[in-house]
Amino acid sequence: MAYNLLKGKKGIIFGALNEMSIAWKVAEKCLEEGAEIVLTNTPLSIRMGGIQEFADKHNIPLIPADATSVEDLTNLMNEAMRHFGGKMDFILHSIGMSLNVRKKRAYDDLDYDFLQKTLDISAISFHKVLQTAKKLDVLNEWGSVVALSYVAAQRTMYEYNDMADAKAMLESIARSFGYIYGREKKIRVNTISQSPTMTTAGSGIKGFDSLVDFADRMSPLGNATADECANYCICLFSDLTRKITMQNLYHDGGFSSMGMSYRAMHQYNKSFENGEKE
């Protein structure tokens, strides 16, 4: 059901790769809620994914940009301003990638060049987006910037690897930049800490199926889906959340407040019935 929450609002969506992507769902809901959007991704992801078809179908500009390149970001934001005929109201940063995860390098055997790339793509790019947006003054007062995070920023999650460090940095950037952007321009900056979700980035994590199942058993409301995450993003872009800023907002069915649940305990006990000890 649509509520027209974003009627008259304009924004940029980073990170829609295919229809499983959280950003793809956000893009769909932005349109349903009356927003105008510009889509962006890396040239490679545009070639590999289905985003070009999505853009063509809805007649939306798709502007290639590598979010680690300030030059690309400057071009993207100038182009978006030209397209909209003025400033915008929201930005979604839905970007993550770790070569250490991809190449199965363990956390105690990291490749440091890969680590630099993980941090640049998954965290520092958020600073670059914010800094470029502020310097070019692309956001209207009471605009909203949202990035996607994961609870591994606070708690150690097996096999999440150097992405945990990237998420911790991402959330810190939301606070540090949120202070300045709020004080000077009345712009909100928040991160949403989402349940494990079956997407291309998510399924790159070793043992991801088990993680999804465990999180679901632990969460009283069950895992939050990509669709539900998109609803939360829409809320944060809307005028209903004007005084929420510098927050890391859990969207995880209650997982982050749990220690042990009945459903997880039940499953755990089954392993003892089967005679497993380790």
HSE, side-chain direction, 13 A CA sphere, residue 13: 30
By CB under 6 A, tell whether 45 contacts ligand NAD.
yes
* Candidate residues 100, 132, 194, 245; the one interacting with ligand NAD per rule CB under 6 A: 194
Cβ-based nearer residue to ligand NAD, 15 or 143 = 15
By CB under 6 A, tell whether 95 contacts ligand NAD.
yes
DSSP SS3 for 270: helix
Q: Which residues pair with 188 in a beta bridge?
A: 144
By CB under 6 A, tell whether 196 contacts ligand NAD.
yes
Query: With CB under 6 A, what is the number of residues at the site for ligand NAD?
Result: 27
Taking alpha carbons only, the member of 93, 95, 94, 88 closest to residue 36 is 88
Unique residue bearing structure tokens 């809805």:
58
Q: How far apart are CA 118 and CA 86, in angstroms?
A: 33
Minimum distance of ligand NAD from residue 44's CB (angstroms): 7
Minimum distance of ligand NAD from residue 180's CB (angstroms): 22
Unique residue bearing structure tokens 């991809």:
102
By CB under 6 A, tell whether 150 contacts ligand NAD.
yes
Q: How far apart are CA 69 and CA 87, in angstroms?
A: 21
* Candidate residues 11, 143, 202, 253; the one interacting with ligand NAD per rule CB under 6 A: 202
* Candidate residues 12, 22, 138, 230; the one interacting with ligand NAD per rule CB under 6 A: 22
DSSP SS3 for 181: helix
Q: Which residues pair with 146 in a beta bridge?
A: 92, 190
- The interface region with ligand NAD, picked from 27-35, 75-83, 148-156, 231-239 by CB under 6 A, is 148-156
Write out the E strands in the chain: 10-14, 36-40, 88-93, 139-149, 188-194, 248-251
What contacts 275, CB < 8 A, 6 or more positions away? none
Minimum distance of ligand NAD from residue 57's CB (angstroms): 18
* Candidate residues 29, 76, 92, 96; the one interacting with ligand NAD per rule CB under 6 A: 96
Minimum distance of ligand NAD from residue 179's CB (angstroms): 22
Minimum distance of ligand NAD from residue 28's CB (angstroms): 13
Cβ-based nearer residue to ligand NAD, 51 or 138 = 51
By CB under 6 A, tell whether 15 contacts ligand NAD.
yes
DSSP SS3 for 199: coil
Taking alpha carbons only, the member of 271, 273, 149 closest to residue 214 is 271
Cβ-based nearer residue to ligand NAD, 35 or 147 = 147
Minimum distance of ligand NAD from residue 205's CB (angstroms): 7
Cβ-based nearer residue to ligand NAD, 72 or 89 = 72
Environment class of residue 275 by beta-carbon count within 10 Å: exposed (0-12), middle (13-18) or buried (19+)? exposed
Unique residue bearing structure tokens 């500009």:
61
Interface residue list for ligand NAD (CB under 6 A) = 14-15, 17, 21-23, 41-42, 45, 66-68, 94-97, 121, 148-150, 194, 196-197, 199-202
